[in-house]
């Protein structure tokens, strides 16, 4: 995937104080960029985070015949005259969200050729639900030599009722992307309810789409023939927000998060508050202060689809709880293999026992710096958070993973008084 040989050298033990304005959401921006392919015209995506995954999406759009550029923090995408319906193995392998182009290309061109997507190693990440749904919408799908060929015989998908066995975020997004230009009505039952789904639907509505029910389990989409471009602002990144709050909770100090989506972060904030941190929020700001030692969380922290506790915040909150007083237990219910960060944390002195879905964190007094590797995006951020709270220096390799999801990570940490250097 990313051959980034850079590393972070982090010296811990400093209280972190200051303000951070939250970046736009990665997991909104990526499906919205795929959705921009459906629009016949120019899309201006404001507040688009500058991340390696966003640049991958721009490369995909360019190879499909769109003209793309970054203007400050706006991504400008012109899909007036698409020239291809095929994405190379190499581009597909750069990130998981490349799969979102399947529904969008099919919706716009009536056929597409892709391969299995890349992305974080969180255990098996099949796309069976995506494929079954697109088949139900009339797509003929053939898989040969790792390539996936999809074709809509009549050129347009047909509306239908799809009941998902699990509220998959990606499958819900792919269905929506294919359904907005389909013939007739598509109903998704047991749809994912993540805020990023609502953001995608709001964008598509700005382009003229007819979608109702996003944010609930039943989404109804009435297909229309054409979508037009628009200007749209990406929602703030709730997981980057959870990360910076966890970093401040781990290291101690005071943080003001600006441009925060407070309501969408509630499932995380309600758990964070139980650590004894002072957390206040107003319209779009969150204030956190940690004075004394954190307290362990009494109840199991179960990751669940939204509005449950987000799996993407599991690792970063764990980093803060390593030095809390008492024992906390996580239960990871979304991905099979999302505790890979625990090896690095244990190397730094954490007392963590992983037993299947559960991870038991017994609070220790102190952590120490170590040589560690980021093995995935959120896990990498968690190790950085632990390093900022540890005694001594940590050398963190594999930071290409962190660059996939956090814009100017080291600048944000430095602005709070943390010591972090990219080498």
Footprint of ligand EPU (CB under 6 A): 27, 30, 96-97, 120, 124-130, 166, 168-171, 194, 239, 311-312, 334-335, 377-378, 405
Handedness of CA 401, 406, 411, 413 (dihedral sign): negative
What are the backbone dihedrals phi and psi of residue 412, each rounded to the nearest 5 degrees, phi first?
A: -60, -45
User: What's the closest the beta carbon of residue 30 comes to ligand EPU, in angstroms?
Assistant: 5
Closest CB to ligand EPU among residues 165, 226: 165
Terminal Cα distance for the chain, rounded: 20
Q: How far is CA 138 from the centre of its chain?
A: 29
The angle formed by the CA atoms of residues 296, 301 and 302, to the nearest 5 degrees, is 170
Q: How many residues in total does the chain contain?
A: 423
| 134 in Cβ contact with 104 (< 8 Å) | no
Identify which of residues 116 and 277 has a Cβ nearer to ligand EPU in the complex.
116
Query: By C-beta, is 170 or 241 nearer to ligand EPU?
Result: 170
Give the residue with the Cβ less far from ligand EPU, 315 or 321: 315
CB of 403 to ligand EPU, least distance (A): 13
CB of 295 to ligand EPU, least distance (A): 27
- Which residues make Cβ contacts (< 8 Å) with residue 263, sequence separation at least 6? none
- Of 311 and 323, which CB lies nearer to ligand EPU in the complex structure? 311
By beta-carbon proximity to ligand EPU, the closer residue of 330 and 335 is 335
Burial track 65-93 (b if 16+ CB lie within 10 A, e otherwise): bbebeeeebbbbbbbeebeebbbeeebbb
- Is 415:403 a contact under the CB 8 Å cutoff? no
Nearest-CA neighbor of 302 among 293, 294, 310? 310
CB of 243 closer than 8 Å to CB of 34: no
- Alpha-carbon Rg for the chain in angstroms: 21
> Whole-number minimum distance, CB 240 to ligand EPU, in Å?
10
Q: How far is the CB of 333 from ligand EPU (least distance, A)?
A: 9
Residue nearest to ligand EPU according to CB distances in the complex: 170
> Which of these is catalytic: 48, 66, 120, 150?
120
Q: Is 48 a catalytic residue?
A: no
CA distance 150 to 114: 9
Q: What is the closest distance, in whole angstroms, from the C-beta atom of residue 131 to ligand EPU in the complex?
A: 7
Residues assigned a catalytic role: 120
């Amino acid at each position: 995937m990313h051959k980034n040989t850079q590393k972070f050298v982090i010296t811990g033990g400093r209280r972190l104080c200051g303000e951070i304005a939250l970046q736009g959401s990665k997991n909104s921006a990526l499906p919205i960029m795929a959705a921009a392919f459906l629009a016949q015209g120019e899309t201006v995506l404001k507040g688009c985070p500058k991340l390696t995954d966003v640049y991958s999406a721009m490369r995909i759009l360019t190879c499909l015949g769109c003209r793309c550029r970054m203007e400050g923090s706006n991504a400008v995408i012109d899909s007036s005259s698409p020239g291809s319906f095929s994405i190379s193995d190499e581009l597909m392998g750069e990130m998981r969200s490349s799969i979102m182009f399947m529904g969008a290309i099919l919706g716009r061109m009536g056929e597409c050729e892709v391969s299995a997507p890349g992305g974080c190693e969180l255990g098996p990440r099949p796309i069976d639900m995506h494929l079954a749904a697109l088949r139900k919408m009339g797509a003929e799908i053939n898989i040969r030599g790792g390539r996936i060929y999809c074709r809509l015989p009549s050129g347009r998908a047909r509306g239908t009722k799809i009941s998902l066995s699990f509220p998959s975020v990606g499958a819900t997004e792919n269905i929506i992307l294919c359904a907005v230009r389909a013939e007739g009505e598509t109903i998704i039952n047991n749809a994912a309810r993540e805020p990023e789904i609502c953001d995608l639907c709001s964008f598509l509505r700005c382009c003229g789409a007819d979608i109702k029910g996003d944010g609930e389990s039943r989404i109804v989409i009435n297909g229309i023939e054409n979508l037009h471009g628009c200007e749209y602002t990406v929602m703030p990144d709730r997981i980057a927000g959870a990360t910076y709050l966890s970093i401040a909770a781990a290291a101690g100090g005071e943080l003001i998060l600006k441009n925060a989506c407070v309501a969408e972060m509630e499932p995380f904030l309600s758990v964070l508050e139980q650590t004894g941190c002072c957390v206040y929020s107003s319209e779009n700001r969150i204030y956190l202060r940690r004075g004394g030692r954190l307290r362990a969380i009494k109840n199991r922290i179960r990751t669940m689809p939204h509005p449950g506790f987000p799996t993407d915040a599991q690792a970063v909150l764990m980093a803060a709880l390593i030095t809390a007083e008492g024992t906390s237990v996580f239960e990871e219910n979304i991905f099979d293999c999302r505790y890979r960060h625990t090896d690095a944390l244990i190397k730094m002195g954490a007392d963590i026992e992983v037993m299947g879905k559960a991870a038991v964190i017994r609070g220790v007094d102190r952590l120490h710096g170590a040589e560690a590797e980021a093995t995935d995006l959120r896990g990498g951020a968690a190790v950085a958070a632990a390093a900022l709270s540890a005694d001594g220096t940590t050398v963190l390799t594999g930071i290409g993973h962190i660059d996939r999801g956090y814009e100017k990570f080291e600048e944000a940490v430095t602005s709070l008084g943390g010591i972090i250097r990219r080498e």
